[in-house]
Amino acid sequence: MEVVIEKLDHQFRGIGYINGKVIFVTKTMPGDKCEIEITKEKKNYFEGKVLRYIKFSEKRILPSCPYSSFCGGCDLDHMSYEDSLFFKKKMLEELFSKNLNYFESIFIESCEKSWFYRNKLHLKVVEGKVGFYESKTHRLVEIKECKIAKHSLNAVLKDFSMYSFSNGEIMIRTNDNDEILMDLITEDKIEILKDFLSKHKIVGILKNHKCIYGKPFLFERRNGVLYQVSFDSFFQINEEMSKKMFCFIKNVLKNFEKILDLYCGVGTLGLQLYKEKVLVTGIEIVPNAILNAIKNAKLNHAKNFQFHLGKVEDIISKIPYSFDAIIVDPPRNGLDPKTRDVILKMKPEKFVYVSCNPMTLIRDLKEFEDDYRIESVQGFDMFPYTKHVECVCVMSRR
């Protein structure tokens, strides 16, 4: 069955038509003519995959990664970096104009290091082979290198045989000094080889979340702020883009003195905003992240910080005082309805929403339309060559 791709949807799937009915096809571009197989049929649309390309779009390029057609990570590896930014910008502008009547141009900050930028990998191990699961399956794609991961992570990946086990998972993270922290999830026996330790800057190795060598954390530095980051604590995966995003947010909130930091992680954003007179209150559900945050405030000699452990939706309504600014950086599923309600009742003058999922961002912002206007929206290409984009939306109370 032949289909001509006419445009991309907001998930960067190609859109074509079969007898007037929409079909979504991954890994395609406007102008591609494909022979496709229908993989899912719904009342109003089809989903399909490419069997072969009859004619390539003039915009299509040869993928740089040999695994990108299978592993499901680099969704946009078949287009130039400039085109990927164009489509991300278009996607954000369409979502904001259609759903929130925001018609301003949205700038996306580009990433100079569009390859080898990621500081964390989560890999699968199946019968002694290491890689990623193929998109929407449990079929392993064995890899020798990940082109979006930092070189220090790939160096450790290439030496898998030096700490090999048969089945499980590997979490590897690195920092701005190329130090390595690993968590090996397996029931197999692990032997730490001296050659492996001497070859790489290993600061810690865990097995099933328990430290068996070194320490269960590493240190990161962003814009002069030092962070202790435990193996299970969230921290932005792109050093270059996180610095730019932090500077943007710091400038937005530079005149505010009482700030509530929801989903605060290791105190990342709050510490970027620190000044002598600023009071920052953070809420986070991960115990190690809160311990990191407390430690990080001390490391940076930052006073007037308070941190609360628990679900944001459970803790936020129990805080007895008000804030003139609130910043949120929730997981991909966005804000809990209870959290949205409490933020509205608090009536902060400024509300900054950081999101890696434009769909849940738009859904949540619609709840604030009556009370807040969109002051600005800016994208940060935190995840080059993937369909994801980090977005910072600044809201001001009407």
CA 304 to CA 293: how far, in whole Å? 13
Band (pLDDT 50/70/90 cuts) for residue 92 is very high
Long-range CB contacts (< 8 A, 24+ apart) of 47-55? Answer: 47/23, 48/3, 48/23, 48/24, 49/25, 50/25, 54/2, 55/31
Six token digits for residue 307: 């941190």
pLDDT of residue 271: 96
Band (pLDDT 50/70/90 cuts) for residue 321 is confident
pLDDT of residue 70: 79
pLDDT of residue 137: 86
- Read off the pLDDT of residues 241-275 as tens digits, 9 standing for 90 and up: 999 999 999 999 999 999 999 999 999 999 999 88
Asked whether residue 152 carries a pLDDT value surpassing 80, the answer given is yes
Give the CATH class of 120-219.
Answer: mainly beta
Taking alpha carbons only, the member of 192, 190, 152 closest to residue 173 is 152
Band (pLDDT 50/70/90 cuts) for residue 398 is very high
Amino acid at residue number 59: K
CA 30 to CA 20: how far, in whole Å? 17
- Read off the pLDDT of residues 344-388 as tens digits, 9 standing for 90 and up: 999 999 999 999 999 999 999 999 999 999 999 999 999 999 999
- Read off the pLDDT of residues 169-182 as tens digits, 9 standing for 90 and up: 999 999 999 999 99
- Under DSSP, is residue 319 helix (H, G, I), strand (E, B) or coil? coil
Six token digits for residue 42: 């719904």
pLDDT of residue 274: 87
Stretch(es) of the chain classified as CATH 3.40.50.150: 85-112+231-397
b/e per residue, 292-330, with b = 16+ CB within 10 A?
Answer: bbbbbbebeebeebbbbeeebbebbeeeeeebbbbbbbb
pLDDT of residue 220: 98
pLDDT of residue 250: 96
Compute the mean pLDDT over every residue in the chain, rounded to the nearest whole number.
Answer: 95
Band (pLDDT 50/70/90 cuts) for residue 160 is confident
Percentage of the residues of the chain whose pLDDT score is greater than 70: 100
pLDDT of residue 127: 93
Q: How many of the other CB atoms lie within 10 Å of CB of 337?
A: 11
Region 198-221 average pLDDT: 97
- Read off the pLDDT of residues 18-45 as tens digits, 9 standing for 90 and up: 999 999 999 999 999 999 999 999 999 9
Query: Quick one: CATH architecture of 85-112+231-397?
Result: 3-Layer(aba) Sandwich (3.40)
Region 52-76 average pLDDT: 89
- Its pTM stands at 0.94
Percentage of the residues of the chain whose pLDDT score is greater than 90: 88
CATH of domain 2-60: 2.40.50.140
Stretch(es) of the chain classified as CATH 2.40.50.1070: 120-219
Q: How far is CA 65 from CA 114, 117, 144, 149, 265, in A?
A: 13, 14, 11, 12, 32
Band (pLDDT 50/70/90 cuts) for residue 73 is confident
Asked whether residue 206 carries a pLDDT value surpassing 80, the answer given is yes
- Read off the pLDDT of residues 228-249 as tens digits, 9 standing for 90 and up: 999 999 999 999 999 999 999 9
b/e per residue, 59-83, with b = 16+ CB within 10 A?
Answer: bbeebebebbbbbbbbbbbbbebeb
Angle at CA of residue 308, ends 333 and 170, nearest 5°: 55
